[in-house]
Structure 1
Amino acid sequence: MKTSKDNKPYQIVIIEDNPGDYTLIVNYLEEQFLSPKIFWAKNFKEAKKLVTDATICSDLILLDLSLPDKSGEELITEMFLLCPETPLIILTGLSDNTFGIKSLSLGISDYLIKDELDANLLYKSIIYNIERKKTLLQLATSEKRYSDLFHLSPQPMWVYDTVSLRFLDVNEAAEKHYGYSLQEFLGMTIKDIRPVEDIPEMHKRVEFLNENEGSHSLGTFRHKKKNGEIIYVEIQSNIIQFQDSIGRIILASDVTERLSYIEAIEKQNEKLKEIAWIQSHVVRAPLARMMSLIDIIKNFGIEENDSENLLNNLLISAEELDVIIKDITKKSEGIQLDKK
């Protein structure tokens, strides 16, 4: 039994044409709530004015199904158009289970029979449906945030089914980068974007990830675009509940240019090592001979019969050195890296 009244300042709209029923509902509310703010509309016209009033932030609507100017399914539909985010509880004198089930399918929060109603039942329904609506709105907001992050991401992303390997959803960046439309992607599996020779290894990877569901995956793999181009892609993935399936969400970063650039740098480094070796070994031989000949001339002079021989040796070493320098220059000119 409740020992104290609920002190939350709920704003409740009652749409009821029968003054007696309205008074009874108010009594039930005041029995359970400390200070409820209640608004009354006696027909659809007044109800429309109330629920569209920007100064009234109603937490819940109690709606009689039979109003003078509108009733039944049409009334429910019109009310949802006016206030789709506000919980709507039907209060009716008609015990029609078929229509009650149908009205729930239309989106109402609860369906209560007036003759079975009491303060406690009404209170439980109000609190439950207000909190339920908050949870649903939070979930919808969360799903929209996920959807925006997913679909508006500049990086290619997709979700695939961990069992069938079919694409479940693909963002626009993936469509543009791989060349497939969304409909084409949804008719494909992740095998279709892998080179044939890489598929066996892909199956092993998928099997490992499925056996370790909580694992976050990171790695670089080869992918194939619609035009047949092979690219290298850095993949980050994690498990996700997607609709009725267990999926894996993928973030794909094309690293083809980066890997090509690194490969080019490594090749250039090899050339630089070769040049350094030439400078430290090949250049030294003719240079050492020239220095020796110059030293002999400086210290001992040149006798007439040796002068031609010494000069010829100097010339040979100089020409050899010239060829080596030209070779180094040629190799150096081949070292060109694009600035990214």
Structure 2
Amino acid sequence: MKQVKVLLIDDDEDDYVLTRTVFRKLGAAFQLDWADSYEKGIGGVLKRAYDVYLVDYRLGKRTGIDLLKEAINSGCMEPIIILTGKGDRNIDEQAMDLGAADYLVKDDIDAGVLERSIRYSMKQAAGLKAVRDSERRYRAVFEQANDPILVSDPAGRIHSINPAGERFFGYSPGELLQLPDAILFRRIEDAERFRNLLEKNGSLNDFECELKGREGQYYHCSLSSFIQTDLVSVAEVYHTIIRDLSYRKHIEEKSVNMGKMSISEHIAKGLGEEIRDPLSTINLAVDELASDQELSYNESVQGCLEIIKTNCDRVSQLIQNFISSTETKTLNLQRHSLSEVIEETLKEAEELIVGHGIRLTRELEEPGHKVLLDKAKIKVALSSVIRNAAEAMSAYPKEIRISSTSDQAMFEIRIEDNGGGVSPANRDKIFEPFFTTKKRANGLGLTHAQRVLTTHNGSIALKPLDKGSLFLIRIPVYHEGPVWQ
């Protein structure tokens, strides 16, 4: 067994002699050294050469409480036992509140009392050290983790969030501590369900939901959480690790969209062939009837033939548009300024915007780099979204706001209108071929826009607003390797 080294800090030599006598009864397991002044005592503490310190309350002009404060402020982790000539409850409470391991009255000290006090103090100090080491390791993981980590309570109060969390949500240090945790959830029902499941089960793994950043951006995330009792406040707290699944979600959606487009293309080509043959036959028959000498002067017949001919041409054009909207064509990729592409699109759509009496506002960021894209196809896609926004507004004032931003990975275009919006029942259908709620529309514009952006490794998404709709278009800044077939 390791010998326990004890330092007695006491300016009374008689007390040292009495203490040494008690220690001799404890045997060789304990070594006692003596410091006869406050200065020597605090020097011994700072050297960290002892396992336990016995400190007399009276040390000349200073007290053992003063030494205790200085020792703890200096980072002393070893137990300090305060000794006094007579019991004083106030000193006892003060010493224990400041972190003393024990408080002993000299007249009550014998070998058994001293040995037990030293042993318990060392065990307590070892336990506290283990807790501090654990807290230090947790704090290191907490501070340096790449994933956001949130500490909150059942009432929704945020106790702490690591730097990764502050960066992820876009809040400044300490700003989130003034807000309820429900502000981070896109839907309040997700926050309530998360809390209910966690309280019911005690822990929660891979709870998927959408979280919201400070600027209103949404992230598809997975939450893993457990409940722990805070020993300081004796209250339950939630420790939650947040994993951003937005990229995975984007890949999944892209895969689904590519699958839908492949099926649409196959159906469109097959349907086109099936319809073109009878249309050709009808057109031939109409031409024959129109050239018949007996019918050439019959205005009623000729009028009907013209109607048939016009509608056949319309069906043929509709089929061609459908096939074109579903075809995967080779892209003519060149580097362009996206702001210039947007401006050209708006200039070409000027007649549409003016004709609908729309007030257009734009906030376009001019990035320092260009993007690789098929200019003609991107302009058609943007025009389709702008036309959709223009036709969605019926009441004045009609407003469309177009803005763009970029970071190192993506360009983001936001096309926002103040129309009637899209009903919840139709939000999952707006990119489907031929789906439309407008009169005299073929329902292919947004379908084609989605296909163009998907083949550019980008995306288009609808974000419902309180009034109107927001279409969020994202196009990658850099493209490496053999992309876009």
Q: TM-score range by the shorter chain?
A: 0.7 to 0.9
Query: For the residues of structure 1 that align with 2:251 and 2:75, how far apart are their CA atoms?
Result: 58
Letter in 2 for 1:129: S
Q: Does 1:179 align with 2:183?
A: no
Which of residues 35, 39, 50 in structure 2 aligns to 1:58? 50
CA contact (8 A) 1:43 1:69 kept: no
Query: For the residues of structure 2 that align with 1:336 and 1:75, how far apart are their CA atoms?
Result: 71
Query: For the residues of structure 2 that align with 1:216 and 1:329, how far apart are their CA atoms?
Result: 43
Which of residues 113, 116, 123 in structure 2 aligns to 1:121? 113
Query: For the residues of structure 2 that align with 1:96 and 1:112, how far apart are their CA atoms?
Result: 10
Pair 71,245 (structure 1): closer, same or farther in 2 beyond 3 Å: closer
| Cα offset, 1:165, TM superposition | 1.9
SS in 2 for 1:331: coil
Residue in structure 2 matched with residue 301 of structure 1 by the alignment: none
| Cα offset, 1:10, TM superposition | 0.5
Residue in structure 1 matched with residue 254 of structure 2 by the alignment: 264
Residue in structure 1 matched with residue 222 of structure 2 by the alignment: 234
Query: For the residues of structure 2 that align with 1:69 and 1:75, how far apart are their CA atoms?
Result: 12
Which of residues 44, 47, 64 in structure 1 aligns to 2:38? 44
| Cα offset, 1:131, TM superposition | 0.8
Q: Does 1:249 align with 2:369?
A: no
1:269-325 deviation per Cα after TM superposition (whole angstroms, max 9, x unaligned): 3333445567889789x9xxxxxxxxxxxxxxxxxxxxxxxxxxxxxxxxxxxx9xx
Which of residues 21, 25, 30 in structure 1 aligns to 2:15? 21
Query: For the residues of structure 1 that align with 2:101 and 2:195, how far apart are their CA atoms?
Result: 43
Residue in structure 2 matched with residue 309 of structure 1 by the alignment: none
Residue in structure 1 matched with residue 188 of structure 2 by the alignment: 199
Letter in 2 for 1:15: I
Letter in 1 for 2:227: I
| Cα offset, 1:129, TM superposition | 0.6
| Cα offset, 1:168, TM superposition | 1.9
Larger Rg: 1
Q: Does 1:166 align with 2:157?
A: yes
Q: Give the structure with the higher percent strand.
A: 2
Residue in structure 2 matched with residue 143 of structure 1 by the alignment: 135
CA contact (8 A) 2:64 2:82 kept: no
Pair 49,192 (structure 1): closer, same or farther in 2 beyond 3 Å: closer
| Cα offset, 1:227, TM superposition | 1.1
| Cα offset, 1:97, TM superposition | 2.2
Residue in structure 2 matched with residue 219 of structure 1 by the alignment: 207
SS in 1 for 2:145: coil
CA contact (8 A) 2:86 2:107 kept: no
Query: For the residues of structure 1 that align with 2:35 and 2:325, how far apart are their CA atoms?
Result: 95
Pair 144,270 (structure 1): closer, same or farther in 2 beyond 3 Å: same
Pair 225,92 (structure 1): closer, same or farther in 2 beyond 3 Å: same
Q: Does 1:73 align with 2:65?
A: yes
Residue in structure 2 matched with residue 337 of structure 1 by the alignment: 457
Query: For the residues of structure 1 that align with 2:59 and 2:264, how far apart are their CA atoms?
Result: 94
| Cα offset, 1:329, TM superposition | 11
CA contact (8 A) 2:198 2:226 kept: no
Query: For the residues of structure 1 that align with 2:264 and 2:72, how far apart are their CA atoms?
Result: 78
Query: For the residues of structure 2 that align with 1:19 and 1:113, how far apart are their CA atoms?
Result: 17
SS in 1 for 2:174: helix
Pair 254,82 (structure 1): closer, same or farther in 2 beyond 3 Å: closer
Letter in 1 for 2:92: G
SS in 2 for 1:143: helix
Pair 272,205 (structure 1): closer, same or farther in 2 beyond 3 Å: same
Query: For the residues of structure 1 that align with 2:6 and 2:75, how far apart are their CA atoms?
Result: 13
TM-score (norm 1): 0.74
| Cα offset, 1:13, TM superposition | 0.6
| Cα offset, 1:9, TM superposition | 0.6
Tell me how large the CA RMSD over aligned residues is.
3.1
CA contact (8 A) 1:8 1:34 kept: no
1:69-111 deviation per Cα after TM superposition (whole angstroms, max 9, x unaligned): 6335333333444562121111221332222222222221112
1:104-162 deviation per Cα after TM superposition (whole angstroms, max 9, x unaligned): 22221112111111111111111111110111111111112112212221111102212
| Cα offset, 1:61, TM superposition | 0.7
CA contact (8 A) 2:149 2:241 kept: yes
CA contact (8 A) 1:73 1:103 kept: yes
Pair 229,85 (structure 1): closer, same or farther in 2 beyond 3 Å: same
Query: For the residues of structure 2 that align with 1:49 and 1:192, how far apart are their CA atoms?
Result: 52
Pair 160,337 (structure 1): closer, same or farther in 2 beyond 3 Å: same
Q: Mean Cα displacement is larger for which, 74-83 or 8-17?
A: 74-83
| Cα offset, 1:182, TM superposition | 4.3
CA contact (8 A) 2:206 2:222 kept: yes
CA contact (8 A) 1:8 1:33 kept: no
Query: For the residues of structure 1 that align with 2:457 and 2:220, how far apart are their CA atoms?
Result: 20
Letter in 1 for 2:89: N
TM-score (norm 2): 0.54
Residue in structure 1 matched with residue 353 of structure 2 by the alignment: none
Residue in structure 2 matched with residue 308 of structure 1 by the alignment: none
